[in-house]
Amino acid sequence: MTGSLAAFQSGLGRALTGEDTCPIDSHSAGFRFTMKVRRSWCEGRTMMAARAVLAVVPDGERQRLVSEYVDQGGGLALFLAAEREAFLAFLAPRLPDPSHALTICRMGQALAQARLGASMFVPLRERVGGGRVGRGRHAALVWFHADPSAVMMALKGGKLPPVGPPDHAVLFAPGLPNLFRTATEAEAALWAELPAADAPPALTARLLMEGVLAYPA
Amino acid sequence: MPGPLGIGFGCHLTLPNALYTPDLLDFVEVTPEIFHREENVQGCIQLVPDHKPFAAARRRCGSLPVTMHGVSLSIGSAHGMYEPCLTMMDRLRGEWRFHWYSEHLHFQTTLDANGEATNTGIPFPLPPTEEAAGLVAARAAFIQRRYGVPFLLENPVHYLPDLPADPEIGDEFGLMGRIIALSGCGQLLDLHNLYCNAINFGFDAITALERIRLDRVGEIHVAGGSWRDGFYMDAHDGLVPEPVWDLLEQTLSRAPWIPGVVFEILDEYLERLGPDGIARELERARTIWRRHHPVAEAAA
């Protein structure tokens, strides 16, 4: 073989991104078929990584978004969680606002963050004398535009409820059982004001324990 | 090679427990990456268990023997293997006994123009060259020493014609044989991959068995596939085709000592066969296995 293994692999890898460096016949039926299979793997990985949000995006739009993502180099991650994170970040600014799809996208991002934080989570106790509190590093609040359970049912094949005002707030944090729960009105109001120096202790004690709140470093 | 285990199947969490009983299965083949996620731990990428699925996989395997079948090591990447896989296996070695560890003979990461490792998106075969054989053999020997269990390399499926080759290695069979000779590792003989390559490249799979070191085969895979654009694909999407059952018959008649046979199917196609259909494929594998394993048959 002429040239090293490293050169062969690098040339092939760069050819996959469109450079004219392919060390084998790129016009052969086998190479073209390999590219087709690769494309379908990238699209399939993307679909699998974000099944929930894509389930509520109309068919044509779903295919267009996945194609655009793969065209930009997406769909290559070895692990689904990494693919999901990248694809949801790509999707968020492209989904209609408000929409259930955007809510589910944000929920996916919030869950991933909460899950990430859960492996090293240590509940915080309230400091004597209180003090300034902010949002937990792995916490989020997501507004739903319909009853969250109705939106979730739609993911299992039910009909999506109409998009209404953002009346339902759900908290995501590493210290919550199952990583999420419904937020009370007071909690949602506090979340909007964070960071806050004068949060009511009755509210903050629980939220600190759950990882929703944190003391600024 | 390790002692016989029998008939194995992947660790599919959505299937009923009834499939994972010693009546139907002798061992479970676990793909550990499915139950792990990449995490940046103090600036270092690690594969950490996804706690719920990982615990579910442990429960699913129960007391059945386990083998590990990795998919992310990229043992043939010239710039280096995917090291987080090795640290994941280090940890698993301490907490979950496995009889052997297998991986794929291919590469799926390369260096880009900036020298950064990048995923290819699909596994690619190695060119059959001395350099490739030497690189993989050294790594395979290192892995086998590191875990103290047999390390098996799976023959790949691919669709690329005219890979650059060294004449003394020649083709995929020469490459695998050279790696085995240099490293002391074994082969996971994927009969469906062999069947696909035989169809797509126009050689006879039964004849090709003569070029495989059956004395070094530690496991066999059988699976289903499908046609697309004139190519026969290793899709793992259904029933094992008759010619692959014939290949299993031929292989085990020549090498009845091979320790295990695994039926492979992807999660997304489980419903297509259903638990009963899967059980029938496992039963058929067991029938062939028993025909060539008098000891196993007597014990049963």
Same domain, A70 and A175: no
Q: Does residue A2 lie in a domain region?
A: no
Same domain, A113 and A151: yes
CA distance A114 to chain B (A): 13
Q: B121–A41: do the CB atoms touch at under 8 Å?
A: yes
A6, A24, A28: residue with CB nearest B79: A6
Residue A216 has pLDDT above 90, yes or no: no
For residue B1, give Cα distances in angstroms to A11, B7, B40, B64, B181.
38, 16, 37, 20, 14
Q: A12–B163: do the CB atoms touch at under 8 Å?
A: no
Same domain, A61 and A114: no
Q: Does residue A87 lie in a domain region?
A: yes
Q: Does residue A1 lie in a domain region?
A: no
The number of C-beta contacts closer than 8 angstroms across A and B is 116
Q: What is the pLDDT of residues B59-105, one digit of tens each?
A: 999 999 999 999 999 999 999 999 999 999 999 999 999 999 999 99
Q: Tell me which of B160, B169, B178, B226 to substitute to probe the interface with A (most A C-beta atoms closer than 10 Å).
A: B160
CA distance A191 to chain B (A): 28
**H-state helical runs in A98-166:** 100-118, 148-155
Which residues of chain A are within 8 Å of residue B39 when distances are taken between CB atoms?
Answer: 116, 119
For residue B34, what is the nearest residue in chain A, using CA coordinates?
A: A79
Count of domains forming chain A: 2
Q: B161–A10: do the CB atoms touch at under 8 Å?
A: no
Same domain, A178 and A87: no
The pTM assigned to this predicted structure is: 0.90
Q: Where are the domains of chain B?
A: 6-299
Mean pLDDT, rounded, for B235-250: 97
Cβ atoms B154, B135 nearer than 8 A:
no
Same domain, A78 and A178: no
For residue B237, give Cα distances in angstroms to A89, A154, B194, B196.
31, 28, 17, 14
Q: What's residue B298's pLDDT?
A: 56
Q: Does residue A86 lie in a domain region?
A: yes
Cβ atoms B70, B33 nearer than 8 A:
yes
Cβ atoms A44, B121 nearer than 8 A:
no
Q: What's residue B112's pLDDT?
A: 86
For residue A26, what is the nearest residue in chain B, using CA coordinates?
A: B160
Which residues of chain A are within 8 Å of residue B112 when distances are taken between CB atoms?
Answer: 10, 13-14, 17
Q: How confident is the model at residue A70 (pLDDT cuts 50, 70, 90)?
A: very high
Which own/partner pairs from A15-23 qualify as long-range (CB within 8 Å, at least 24 positions apart)? A16/B120, A16/B121, A17/A73, A17/B112, A19/B113, A23/B164
Q: Does residue A199 lie in a domain region?
A: yes
Q: What's residue A120's pLDDT?
A: 81
A6, A25, A78: residue with CB nearest B162: A25
Same domain, A57 and A117: no
Q: A9–B131: do the CB atoms touch at under 8 Å?
A: no
Q: What is the pLDDT of residues A21-31, one digit of tens each?
A: 999 999 999 99
Q: Does residue A38 lie in a domain region?
A: yes
Residue A103 has pLDDT above 70, yes or no: yes
Mean pLDDT, rounded, for A207-215: 94
Q: Does residue A198 lie in a domain region?
A: yes
ipTM of the complex, rounded to two decimals:
0.92
Q: What is the pLDDT of residues B177-191, one digit of tens each?
A: 999 999 999 999 999
Q: B161–A4: do the CB atoms touch at under 8 Å?
A: no
CA distance B203 to chain A (A): 16
Q: How confident is the model at residue A3 (pLDDT cuts 50, 70, 90)?
A: low
A33 touches chain B (CB under 8 A): yes
Q: What is the pLDDT of residues B280-290, one digit of tens each?
A: 999 999 999 99
CA distance A165 to chain B (A): 35
For residue A79, what is the nearest residue in chain B, using CA coordinates?
A: B37
B33, B121, B160: residue with CB nearest A42: B121
For residue A80, what is the nearest residue in chain B, using CA coordinates?
A: B37
Q: What's residue A130's pLDDT?
A: 67
Query: Strand B6-10 relative to strand B260-264: parallel, antiparallel, unpaired?
Result: parallel
Residue B295 has pLDDT above 60, yes or no: no
Structural domain of A150: 98-121+132-217
Q: B107–A37: do the CB atoms touch at under 8 Å?
A: no
Q: What is the pLDDT of residues A109-162, one digit of tens each?
A: 999 999 888 878 888 887 776 678 999 999 999 999 999 999 999 888 888 999
CA distance B128 to chain A (A): 9
Cβ atoms A102, A160 nearer than 8 A:
no
Same domain, A112 and A217: yes
Please provide the average confidence, as pLDDT, over all residues in chain B.
Answer: 95
Same domain, A32 and A109: no
B47, B110, B132: residue with CB nearest A12: B110
Same domain, A153 and A195: yes
Same domain, A86 and A111: no
For residue B162, what is the nearest residue in chain A, using CA coordinates?
A: A24
**H-state helical runs in chain A:** 5-16, 29-49, 51-55, 59-71, 80-91, 100-118, 148-155, 185-193, 201-210
Mean pLDDT, rounded, for B41-49: 88
Q: B48–A34: do the CB atoms touch at under 8 Å?
A: no
Q: A78–B112: do the CB atoms touch at under 8 Å?
A: no
A13, A17, A78: residue with CB nearest B72: A78
A178 touches chain B (CB under 8 A): no
CA distance A47 to chain B (A): 12
Query: Strand A168-172 relative to strand A180-182: parallel, antiparallel, unpaired?
Result: antiparallel
| Interface subset of A 59-118, CB within 8 angstroms of B | 75-82, 116
Mean pLDDT, rounded, for A52-79: 94
Same domain, A198 and A106: yes
Per cent of chain A over pLDDT 90 is 76
Domain boundary residue among A94, A113, A142? A94
Mean pLDDT, rounded, for B115-122: 92
For residue B169, what is the nearest residue in chain A, using CA coordinates?
A: A1
**H-state helical runs in B165-241:** 172-183, 191-201, 205-208
Same domain, A117 and A217: yes
Q: Where are the beta strands (DSSP E) in B125-165?
A: 151-154
A17 touches chain B (CB under 8 A): yes
Q: Tell me which of B33, B34, B39 to substitute to probe the interface with A (most A C-beta atoms closer than 10 Å).
A: B39
| Architecture label for domain B6-299 | Alpha-Beta Barrel (3.20)
